Structure 1
Amino acid sequence: MTKGIFYLPPGANFATDLVTGLKGRLAGQPPEAIARVTLFLNTARMRREVELAFRQGGPTLLPKLRLITDLPDDPRLGVPPAVPPLRRRLELGQLVARLLDSQPDLAPRAGIFDLADSLAQLGEEMQGEGVSVETVAGLDVSGHSEHWARTRQFLSIIAPHLQDGNAPDAGLRQRLAVEAQMALWAADPPQDPVIVAGSTGSRGTTALLMQAVTRLPMGALVLPGFDADLPPEGWAALQDSLTAEDHPQYRYRRLADDLGLSPTDFQPWSGAAAPSPDRNRLISLSLRPAPVTDRWLAEGPHLPDLRGATAEMTLIEAPTPRSEALAIALVLRQAAEQGRTAAVITPDRTLARQVTAALDRWRLVPDDSAGRPLALSAPGRFLLHVADLFGARLTAERLLILLKHPLTASTGDRGAHLRLTRELELRLRRHGPVFPTAADILHWASAQDAPEAPAWGTFLARTLAVFVPETEQALPLSDHVHRHRDLAEALARGTHETGSGALWLKEAGEQALAVMQDLQAEAPHGGAMSATEYRDLFSAVLTQAEVREAAQSHPRIMLWGTVEARIQGADLVVLAGLNDGTWPQLPPPDPWLNRAMRKEAGLLLPERRVGLSAHDYQQAVAAPEVVLTRSVRDAEAECVPSRWLNRLMNLMSGLPEQHGPEALSLMRNRGGHWLALGAALEAPSLAQMADPRLAPAGRPAPQPPVAQRPRRLALTAIARLIRDPYAIYARHVLRLYPLDPLHPVADARDRGNAFHLILERFVRERPEDEALAAARARLLATAAEVLEAEVPFPAARALWLARFSRAANHVLTQDRKRGGAALLVESKGQITVPGHDFTLFGTPDRIDRLPDGRLHLIDYKSGTPPTKKQQDHYDKQLLLAAAMAERGGFAEIGPADVAEISYVGLGAGEKAVETEITPELTGSEWDKFVLLIERYHRRATGYTARRAVFEDRIEGDYDHLSRLGEWQMSDRAAPAPVGPEEGGA
């Protein structure tokens, strides 16, 4: 076997062709010769594939298969154990926290552990690339902003901590192992073959090992995805890393330079040919470095007929990610039916999960190489929810999220727990409080009839007692972890005295427990932190963990990451998510070194990630059959095609002599077939379309029996009866009452209630002969007291107090304008409509007695007061209240004449809408009201949905019930009787 640098072309089955070439080179030698070969591989999956390739040839001895990353574990090299990654990040987190204490403008404290992660990655990169502390300290930052000077100073201080050989990180440990192995080889070079296969040398430490192997007597490299179609001028254009590192072949040019060779000196490993050499030529030309893209014009005409080169290529341009995932699932399903091996390669884990969900339609489970993020598993979400409670007030929303989680009270009677949770939710959403306490829960549980309620309430109250809002006082990390675990286990076991329920069961639970135990073990290195900082830390730690759950996956359907593109071996490869920003992914921001500083230090540029992704793309797109997929837009905006796909389409479109546009059209047509199948799969069948139950609903106008129609309505409900009768039907006939949102917010209703209570107290507590200045001071003091007592949201209190302060002068002006004295404040009145079994009731904000003995009715509006036209047609509240007062509807006053009604706005603009009242006006309004009630006491009158709403965009409480959206506001109502006939059962 000869030494040297060899390659396999893009699209080759790397494991199979590697083994075939190795056997061919050892042909004629004794069987044990292969056992003397040492084969360094880059991933565990590659090692499994190589083992499988050896076994498929029959019984044989195996070479020594080693992973490059396993070198540090060789006891001969004497490399000290690596510092656990979590410990290093906790130590760096403390250093970053001190940095932010001294320079708080550098970054928010919420980013401490993200900064620690990026700092740890920078340290590993420095170790891997052999960049010394002195190099970082000597960077010239004179031409950069002050920010980079500060970060350089910080890096100079902590860099020795990152490069301590006695306590190395994984990156430094790998480099120490490689250097030790090189020393052993230099002292005693192995005479047997040593081969590094499958690595591109993109990392400095790996490149160092590869260079050492080439110096061995029988050392060899086997490179994956080497582009032999790239001409010398193309290789020459890859000199400068600033302009060329994003090219898929840049790493091979750099490797050749380091070895003093030219890429043209690399030799084929075996006679294995690419599945489609013509396609490889097309892809190679499309990926030419930017400085030599003019070669498209020169070399493009020499390409063969592109219809043949792309005959096994399909392009799916889906309208949405959902349709993209469904089309991919259909492609995989057909491959499974045909007994072919299919792999989806994508860096987009969300898209991969969507494909998995789409395959579940046919009970197909793909073999996913990445597993599932622990944070998306049930134990992971549960632990995150518990962590979210630390350092914050317990809200009803957070409480119910925990109580409804499937792991809460997972020991014992889960049914009783869910029933009591439902009843508690109804209580909290209807009556509050927004921030429940242990005492609130105990009081509620004691009033329940269920025998399980007392014990359940006691368990919950005991747990809630922990959620007392804390100050930001720092506690040791071990205390936070201990409390977090104890609390999670207490919630999981429920009313039982011992155990942890199902929290730590199955693969996800075991992995979650391992994370908690690891965090507890390394807590002494985390120092002290606030509850908020612990929450951020735990979220960062959990997000990085993954879990592999046992599943009977399909043996021929696989989901791979981009690094596995070099393995190949699949009959069909789907390159999914080919949009810029997804593939290639955007380089993450580096808060420590900018691009120019990285180049000066000899570190990897952000384009390295792009170049690695480009190399993965070039290998994957060379598969025997390939499907390229992308979504035209995502949930937010239109997407830009991946730069490589864009280049390919542009090149093909510019080669009409080679039938490029026609070939591209054929690729799209093949993709359109799968999109059409997906659309047909999700479209309703003819039978479903004929089913009247699936027809769009018409605009409803239900006609309930007269006996079931409301006999009492408030003054404020009359406007709703006129504008949206369906809401009256739903609330007063069906008895459906809207619940408050699960996430309570300070809304307009709360503001109105608070403002009305302020004015009620202000009027009731008015002293005699109060001066204007004293009245204003008392009004604002009352506002502050009421808002503090009634509004639990600090931000809303501050905003509403400022708003009320601006309106105070306007309120006092209107208060004294007529010289009236308050007779009634928030006092209820009612009146029965003569000849009808119907009562109108209401509570005007204020009724004043004017000096002439007549009444003045006042209503305060925290929003915009209704105009006179709106009062004439819809907003009848004060007009009908005036009619009630004239007819003796307020017992404390008796029948009295009304002089005026006023709507006083409390918002911006200091508006007040005043209407003079005459007997003719109130008589007319009363007659209209009686006629309205008569109409709605007829069976033929329907309660039309949204009959005359003020604004179409305003959402009503019952719009979902009326199926708004299936009908439009321009549709005519469809009256329909509901309920029994008159006199029926």
Structure 2
Amino acid sequence: MQADALSCVWQAPFDGLARAAREAGVPMSRVVVLLPYAALAIEARRAWAARQRQAAGLAPRFTTPRDWAAALAPWQPGSDDISHDMARDALVAAAWIERVVPARQDTGLRRELVARLVDAARQLAPLAAAQAPERRAAWAEERRAALAAAGGSASAQWESLVANLAVTWAGSSAYITDALWSPFAAPGADADLLLSLPGHHTDPLGEALLAHWGPRAGRLAWSAPAEAAPRVWACEDFEAEARAAAACAIAHLNAGRAPVALIANDRLLTRRASALLVGAGVRLRDETGWKLSTTRAAASLMALLRAADARASTDEVLDWLKLAPAFPPQAVEALERRLRQKGVARWAAVSMDWREADIDAQRAELQAARPLLHWLKDTAQALERSGQWAPLQADEAGRQLIGVLRLGEGAHELDGLGEAAAGPRGAARWSLAAFGAWVRDVLEGAVFQPTVAGAPQVIVLPLQQRLGRRVAAVVAPGCDERHLSASPEPDSAWTAVQRELLGLPDREALARAAASAWAHLFAGAPVDALWRRHDAGEALLPSPFIDGCHESAAESLLDPRLVAAGGTPRPRASAPALLPERLSASAYDDLRTCPYRFFARRQLRLDEVDELDAEPDQGDLGNWLHEVLKRFHEARGDERPGEDADRAAMDALAGVVAMEMGLGDDVQAGGFLPYRAQWPALREAYLHWLWPHEAEGWRFVAAEAEREQRAGRWTLHGRLDRIDARRDLDENAEGDESFVIDHKTESRARTEARVKEPLEDTQLGFYAALLPARRLRAAYLSIVDARGERDEPAKLIEQTEVLMARDAIVQGLVNDLERVAGGAAMLALGEGAACDFCAARGLCRKDFWQPVAGDVAGDGEGEP
């Protein structure tokens, strides 16, 4: 907006101001003009200076009621006052709730009641502040009586409780604007004429002060908004609208129109458009801000509190360690790698050998209950020890966090809050959970507004605060029926009757305010209004304010670029220098199944990250069963204690291993319960196979045995589930006969399919190569729940041609690796099930290959 346009907006208010001062015979320096919000005072002074450029004399005082009161007398909220500081208000509200709600009530309910009470009391605060302090108690009593007379259903017990407490709290509170009722602000003391320039909503305090000043007060009015229509852009979805909004703002800046107002109708959309603008190098100031809880500083503090919980998950502790500079990143990465390989979900189940002693020491210091002031001091010390304090102090959001939580100085301000509401009591001891909940509430209630160096090019504003602002253009995204309604829904839990009794604005008042705000949007600046047709799969309509306006397609705002259609060429990777010297059975199986998968997973070492806190699945069942059988046989050895003793030993081990793996605690136990229910059947199936197997002369040798062998230039390695042996009765036999057994808990059909083609099954042939005995057998032991199988629940599925398969696999492995080492292309040859769940599918981009005539999978030149 240019200077003449700004003066035009302020012409009517300033003409009325000059006329009122002249008629009252009051110099301008003795006139106070009350404005609806603080940012408008700067615009008013600038416009007045432009108007009075040729005239001498002092300017009137443009201010808000709050700023005027702060200039008259300093104010500190009392122990039970509404302060609009969440750290204080949450404590006072909790004290009010504690007074009337039994302590045995659910903790979650009490937290919800506290949050609702703070919200309700803050909505009533402007109404209470509009009452003279000596009349405020009577006002509250009248409102309580009116609410009681209106009645309510029995199901509204908690809503009624919150309403009455909110009225009582607001009516008993002092406010910073109480100074305006004192002799310091009496007519003739600090000013001789009081004028009010209202916003779109009625200000109860402003109206009360005008009545209090009587003939020495008056109202000013804004210039009538010019009739204009916006340029309307219709977008397809959320992302298209955000990009179009950013494009509109950049187009205005390129045309020399600055600053641009970006209207925050849809907060999430505005954040996305703001990110696009900042990424394009635009200086942006967000006057709406965002919750302090969403900042990195808040995430750092909350990570510490979550990790300190005695029941913390492994993920929660690792999250904290990654944010704590006191712990070396390399050590944390190594620890995380081991934990993910083992799948340890609970930190309590982590082996003590893996933990650094200082981790648990720091966590333990924040686990005992203590008073709030001690919590604040100890939390600050914990942040210092973990190295998080210095980054918080160096960060703008971190400094605000320290201030609002009183982690540095000012903790004494919170001592004794709410004592009058709750009655005499000792200092309450807070648990870690209660303290963490209070911290979350405080951070949720605080608004963070980062500073911007230099004059902003784009200013993010609420629609209501466009009034009187100096901007050169306006971009208003979110002009759909949901985010810009012509009849807004009141944003509180008050009923229509309660709103009328309390004096809160009703739907009609909100509709008038919305219409007024929309009309003043066009004051002296071009407006781009945007809306989207779809949001998360749901169809939207335009706002009634733009319905019927001519629309343009938002695609025309963006710079179109022609991109030739075509797919991705099939990859032909080659990396002989990255060929590993050690191979496992699964690594060689990747090479045989799809060379490109081998390239991605084994040469580039790219793989999916294992989840630590995922729901237990079939893999957890297999790992659990493997560990139980290993410990069972290692403890049992060659002894045969009897069937009952075997059952008891396995049952005891099953519980111990489940707890150690994080599958038996109160968090994961529920998810693992269906698998634990299979345990009796699995145990019986295994034992009924084991006893006849041992009767044939087989004895246990090793479980989870690490073995390796050389094959050409490469080393084969693996872990064998179980090795058994027996001495043949034939005296001419050369040594013991060995038996390699791999346990399987998958479906019986899948296990049987593994051995149908001896040369197709990599695992048993590879394992046989790790145990080069002349007399060798290899089999899968399929252990399933007997209720789902007609066959025996534990069945040995043997690979009868394992020696032939072993020799062929070793020879094929050497040949394949030699070709890879020679630079052969690693083609993506996987098909069917091999590709369905492949971790490398997004890397080879098989779904986007371009078709090439004659390019058939498998005919590539030089593939392994």
Give the TM-score normalised by structure 1.
0.69
What's 2:309 paired with?
391
What's 1:504 paired with?
393
Does the 8 A contact of 2:31 with 2:61 survive in 1?
yes
Does the 8 A contact of 1:318 with 1:629 survive in 2?
yes
What is the one-letter code of the residue matched to 1:501?
Answer: A
Alpha-carbon RMSD across the aligned residues, in angstroms, is 5.2
What is the one-letter code of the residue matched to 1:782?
Answer: L
C-alpha distance in 1 between matches for 2:66 and 2:461: 20
The reply to whether residue 626 of structure 1 matches residue 527 of structure 2 is: yes
What's 1:728 paired with?
598
The reply to whether residue 44 of structure 1 matches residue 42 of structure 2 is: no
- Give the secondary structure class of the aligned counterpart of 1:132: helix
The reply to whether residue 55 of structure 1 matches residue 63 of structure 2 is: no
**CA distance change for structure 1 residues 749 and 725 in 2, over 3 Å: closer, same or farther?**
farther
- Give the secondary structure class of the aligned counterpart of 1:501: helix
The reply to whether residue 796 of structure 1 matches residue 656 of structure 2 is: no
C-alpha distance in 2 between matches for 1:44 and 1:106: 39
**CA distance change for structure 1 residues 444 and 644 in 2, over 3 Å: closer, same or farther?**
same
Shift of 1:765: 4.7
C-alpha distance in 1 between matches for 2:246 and 2:593: 49
C-alpha distance in 2 between matches for 1:978 and 1:29: 99
What's 2:378 paired with?
483
**CA distance change for structure 1 residues 798 and 522 in 2, over 3 Å: closer, same or farther?**
same
The reply to whether residue 146 of structure 1 matches residue 42 of structure 2 is: no
What's 1:208 paired with?
208
Q: What pairs up with 1:306-385 in 2 under 5 angstroms?
A: 310=229, 313-341=230-258, 342-371=260-289, 373-385=291-303
What's 1:300 paired with?
none
- Give the secondary structure class of the aligned counterpart of 1:388: helix
- Give the secondary structure class of the aligned counterpart of 1:475: coil
What's 1:785 paired with?
656
User: Of the candidates 813, 816, 823, which is equivalent to residue 699 of structure 2?
Assistant: 823
**CA distance change for structure 1 residues 559 and 603 in 2, over 3 Å: closer, same or farther?**
closer
CA deviation map 1:908-959 (0-9, x unaligned) = 835858576585x657756874685476356387554461353755242x44
What's 1:69 paired with?
66
C-alpha distance in 1 between matches for 2:578 and 2:90: 72
User: Of the candidates 468, 473, 488, which is equivalent to residue 364 of structure 2?
Assistant: 468
C-alpha distance in 1 between matches for 2:74 and 2:451: 37
What's 1:90 paired with?
91
- Specify every segment of 5 or more residues in structure 1 that has no aligned partner in the other structure, as ranges: 1-9, 225-271, 280-309, 410-415, 446-456, 494-499, 653-662
C-alpha distance in 2 between matches for 1:422 and 1:897: 41
CA deviation map 1:133-186 (0-9, x unaligned) = 45335535998543413442465467544422xxx243xx64x5666689966x
Shift of 1:56: 0.7
What's 1:535 paired with?
436
C-alpha distance in 2 between matches for 1:835 and 1:829: 20
What is the one-letter code of the residue matched to 2:97?
Answer: V
What's 2:421 paired with?
none
C-alpha distance in 2 between matches for 1:537 and 1:102: 17
What is the one-letter code of the residue matched to 2:116?
Answer: L
Does the 8 A contact of 1:366 with 1:558 survive in 2?
yes
What's 1:520 paired with?
411
The reply to whether residue 758 of structure 1 matches residue 628 of structure 2 is: yes
Shift of 1:627: 0.7
The reply to whether residue 557 of structure 1 matches residue 483 of structure 2 is: no
CA deviation map 1:599-638 (0-9, x unaligned) = 455544577666644542332156542110134445x433
The reply to whether residue 867 of structure 1 matches residue 767 of structure 2 is: no
C-alpha distance in 1 between matches for 2:432 and 2:390: 26
- Give the secondary structure class of the aligned counterpart of 2:747: coil
Does the 8 A contact of 2:241 with 2:532 survive in 1?
yes
C-alpha distance in 1 between matches for 2:499 and 2:121: 16
Shift of 1:129: 7.6
C-alpha distance in 1 between matches for 2:770 and 2:33: 102
- Specify every segment of 5 or more residues in structure 2 that has no aligned partner in the other structure, as ranges: 132-138, 418-427, 731-736
The more displaced of 636-645 and 736-745 is 736-745
Does the 8 A contact of 2:17 with 2:220 survive in 1?
no
C-alpha distance in 1 between matches for 2:770 and 2:344: 39
C-alpha distance in 1 between matches for 2:542 and 2:413: 42
What's 2:199 paired with?
199
Shift of 1:832: 7.7
What's 1:904 paired with?
783
C-alpha distance in 1 between matches for 2:777 and 2:292: 72
Shift of 1:575: 1.4
Shift of 1:197: 0.7
The reply to whether residue 220 of structure 1 matches residue 99 of structure 2 is: no
Does the 8 A contact of 1:15 with 1:46 survive in 2?
no
**CA distance change for structure 1 residues 804 and 528 in 2, over 3 Å: closer, same or farther?**
closer
What's 1:668 paired with?
552
**CA distance change for structure 1 residues 763 and 26 in 2, over 3 Å: closer, same or farther?**
closer
**CA distance change for structure 1 residues 121 and 977 in 2, over 3 Å: closer, same or farther?**
farther
**CA distance change for structure 1 residues 976 and 817 in 2, over 3 Å: closer, same or farther?**
closer
What is the one-letter code of the residue matched to 1:813?
Answer: A
C-alpha distance in 1 between matches for 2:533 and 2:269: 14
Q: Percent identity?
A: 18
C-alpha distance in 2 between matches for 1:777 and 1:336: 78
C-alpha distance in 1 between matches for 2:679 and 2:621: 14
How many pairs align?
812
What's 1:573 paired with?
474
**CA distance change for structure 1 residues 539 and 897 in 2, over 3 Å: closer, same or farther?**
closer
C-alpha distance in 1 between matches for 2:366 and 2:158: 34
What's 2:422 paired with?
none
Does the 8 A contact of 2:742 with 2:781 survive in 1?
yes
What's 1:895 paired with?
775
**CA distance change for structure 1 residues 863 and 147 in 2, over 3 Å: closer, same or farther?**
farther
What's 2:720 paired with?
843
User: Of the candidates 673, 677, 680, which is equivalent to residue 808 of structure 1?
Assistant: 680
What's 2:446 paired with?
545
Does the 8 A contact of 1:803 with 1:907 survive in 2?
no
What's 2:226 paired with?
275
Q: What pairs up with 1:173-322 in 2 under 5 angstroms?
A: 174=177, 193-210=193-210, 216-217=214-215, 219-224=217-222, 274-276=225-227, 279=228, 310=229, 313-322=230-239
**CA distance change for structure 1 residues 221 and 812 in 2, over 3 Å: closer, same or farther?**
same
C-alpha distance in 1 between matches for 2:826 and 2:294: 46
What is the one-letter code of the residue matched to 1:354?
Answer: R
Does the 8 A contact of 1:39 with 1:65 survive in 2?
yes
The more displaced of 200-209 and 418-427 is 418-427
C-alpha distance in 1 between matches for 2:35 and 2:456: 24
User: Of the candidates 638, 659, 684, which is equivalent to residue 538 of structure 2?
Assistant: 638
C-alpha distance in 1 between matches for 2:861 and 2:657: 48
Does the 8 A contact of 2:725 with 2:739 survive in 1?
yes
User: Of the candidates 5, 15, 22, which is equivalent to residue 17 of structure 2?
Assistant: 22
What is the one-letter code of the residue matched to 1:478?
Answer: L
- Give the secondary structure class of the aligned counterpart of 1:860: strand
Give the TM-score normalised by structure 2.
0.77
- Give the secondary structure class of the aligned counterpart of 1:465: helix
C-alpha distance in 2 between matches for 1:508 and 1:793: 40
C-alpha distance in 1 between matches for 2:360 and 2:615: 22
C-alpha distance in 1 between matches for 2:613 and 2:682: 34
